[in-house]
Amino acid sequence: MAIKEIRLPDGSAVQIDEWLHWPAFSTFEASKTAALDLRIFSYVVGGQLPQSGTPAGGRRSATITDTNWTSRSRVNHDESYLFYSMTYEHFALENNEPYTTDPADLQATQPVLTGTNLRLLQQHVMLELFVGAGISKPQASAPLSYYGQGVGAQAYGSGDALTIAQGAATQLNLNYGTAGPVSPRNQRTWALPINIAPDRVAFARLHSPIGVVPDLDQDYSLRVYADGLKRRPVA
């Protein structure tokens, strides 16, 4: 059995814990034609990846790049978390619709999500964090536009699908959606951290109150991060 507490001769107690910066993350995929209402942090590696509709690529099992959550919809019995913020990174699962107008409209190839598609998601999608069994009031709730993008890498397509003949010339028009500069300074911090005790129910929900997000032309994926500290088991 692990020694978690040492009682000193003066009667005071010292708690032995190891806290690490450990951004917990979980991923989902969605079709542009499907209404969005999904739970994440609700599966572990090897489980079914949450999907809305039938996005490009089809059904698949979650890998270690999709989540580092260790228990389905709850915190493991020998861990706990102290979350200070949430953030996300976004990916396109397909190229956006080709255009042949003159001049050519801005376009993007996967994994680049267009700015228009990202703004539509920011406008219509809610990201919420729930803590506790049977709780209907979220600990955090805001449209996707509230959460700045604090993590991620800039993505670029090959460009070949963006070359469109316009008379005697060709044009390359890349439409790249961003949620602000990828920097910790762009990651909004909550006024008070959220403490999630061991074995406590916890999950995040993403949903669009209007149903299908209008005018999307790419299937997409979001990897959501709950950023903060994790208490690891003491052996």
Q: Domain segments of the chain: what residues?
A: 16-95+109-155+181-232
Distance, in Å, from the CA atom of 97 to the CA atom of 18, rounded to the nearest integer, reads 49
pLDDT recorded at residue 17: 80
Structure-block tokens of residue 178:
């961003």
Provide the token pair at 74: 């709850």
Measured on CA atoms in the order 120, 210, 146, 74, is the torsion positive or negative? negative
Give the separation between CA 180 and CA 21, rounded to whole angstroms: 23
Tens digits of per-residue pLDDT, 14-28? 877 888 999 999 999
Residue 176 in this model has a pLDDT that exceeds 90: no
Query: Taking the domain 16-95+109-155+181-232, which CATH number applies?
Result: 2.60.120
Q: What angle do CA 173, 177, 179 make, to 5 degrees?
A: 155
Q: Using one digit for the tens of pLDDT, what is the confidence trace for 182-203?
A: 888 888 889 899 999 999 999 9
Give the pTM.
0.85
* pLDDT at residue 164 is higher than 70: no
Residue-wise pLDDT for 96-131, tens only, equals 876 555 555 567 888 889 889 999 999 999 999 999
